[in-house]
């Protein structure tokens, strides 16, 4: 059950009255209730038009596993589209986050979404957060910006778009039932998501000859730099076919062993290396390890 916050029904009504495609960007700090509001908007809007949900929160992702941004269409069923950022935080991965969000929004339009609801990352504070959110909004060109704030903490960001003729700004108070989660709780959620994603995984070899290599590409001649590295096996459009955990690198760096859910090796066009390593057998709270 979703507890409906102040102003939420007005948002749904505004979307229902629109006579053209809508792109809604929901922005707010961590634990401001963005995801709950996005779910509500998607559920309500999907009753009258094909609606895309674009999830840009790579740490607490709902559509794909952590480290990915995702897009799903409602009403379903539909196969989610995923883009691998390679980290559970946009910090140090701004370009990947921006590019992934843009490509997913484009994919929603290609699939004839009448409305697209974008759940933005929770990085909003300080100069870095404000600049990151500005670039996201400027790139994605939403028709509506929904700002979840306690007071006026997002006003400096919103001022950049206040006079834009094609954008409407909705200021929505944070619901009193929004729950703040601890860092340990967030980590536990990620570990549960990773464990579920790799539940049916198995090891297989990927021939690297002819494939593109992207991201934080390690020294392929150094097995310690490769093993347990989280990787994305991508299609020719750079969307994720499957995530994998790198295992042994065969001599000469020509074949890579990956532990991944079932996928078609013939469809792989490139491998993107992330910046974290995963140990699925580690003690709770120790599954993730950051890599340079």
Asked if 25 and 120 touch (Cβ cutoff 8 Å), the reply is yes
Decide if 71 contacts 104 (C-beta within 8 A): yes
The token pair at 183 is: 């860092």
The pTM score is 0.94
One DSSP character per residue, 108-119 reads HHHTT-SEEEEE
End-to-end CA distance of the chain: 41
Q: Residue 124 in contact with residue 29, Cβ under 8 Å?
A: yes
Distance, CA of 171 to CA of 147 (rounded, Å) = 5
Structural domains in the chain, sorted by start: 8-173 (3.40.50.300), 190-290 (2.40.30.330)
Q: What pLDDT score was predicted for residue 292? A: 63
Per-residue pLDDT of the chain (292 residues; tens, 9 = 90+): 677 888 999 999 999 999 899 999 999 998 899 999 999 999 999 999 999 999 999 999 999 999 999 999 999 878 899 999 999 999 999 999 999 999 999 999 999 999 999 999 999 999 999 999 999 999 999 999 999 998 899 999 999 999 999 999 999 999 878 778 899 999 999 999 999 999 999 999 999 999 999 999 988 877 677 889 999 999 999 999 999 999 988 776 688 999 999 999 999 999 999 999 999 999 999 999 877 6
Provide the pLDDT for residue 1.
67
CA 38, 104, 288 angle in degrees (round to 5)? 80
Helices 8-17 and 34-45 cross at an angle (nearest 10°) of: 40
């Amino acid at each position: 059950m979703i507890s409906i916050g102040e102003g939420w029904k007005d948002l749904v009504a505004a979307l229902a009255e629109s006579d053209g495609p809508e792109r809604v960007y929901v922005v707010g700090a961590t634990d401001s209730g963005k995801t709950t509001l996005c779910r509500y908007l998607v559920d309500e809007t999907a009753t009258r038009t094909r609606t895309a949900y674009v999830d840009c929160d790579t740490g607490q992702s709902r559509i794909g596993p952590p480290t990915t941004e995702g897009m799903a269409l409602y009403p379903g069923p539909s196969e989610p589209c995923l883009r691998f950022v390679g980290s559970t935080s946009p910090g140090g991965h701004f370009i990947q986050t921006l590019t992934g969000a843009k490509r997913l929004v484009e994919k929603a339009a290609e699939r004839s979404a009448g409305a697209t609801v974008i759940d933005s990352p929770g990085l909003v504070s300080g100069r870095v957060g404000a600049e990151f959110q500005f670039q996201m909004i400027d790139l994605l060109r939403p028709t509506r910006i929904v700002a979840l704030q306690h007071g006026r903490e997002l006003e400096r960001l919103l001022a950049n778009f206040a006079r834009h003729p094609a954008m409407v700004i909705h200021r929505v108070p944070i619901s009193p039932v929004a729950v703040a989660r601890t860092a340990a709780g967030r980590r536990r959620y990620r570990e549960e998501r990773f464990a579920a994603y790799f539940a049916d995984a198995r090891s297989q070899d990927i021939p690297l000859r002819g494939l593109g290599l992207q991201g934080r590409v390690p020294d392929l001649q150094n097995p310690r730099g490769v093993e347990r590295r989280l990787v994305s096996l991508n299609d020719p459009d750079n969307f994720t076919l499957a995530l994998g955990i790198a295992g042994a690198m065969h001599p000469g760096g020509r074949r890579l062993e990956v532990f991944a859910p079932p996928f078609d090796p013939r469809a792989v066009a490139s491998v993107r290396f992330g910046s974290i390593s995963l140990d699925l057998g580690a003690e709770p709270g120790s599954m993730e390890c950051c890599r340079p």
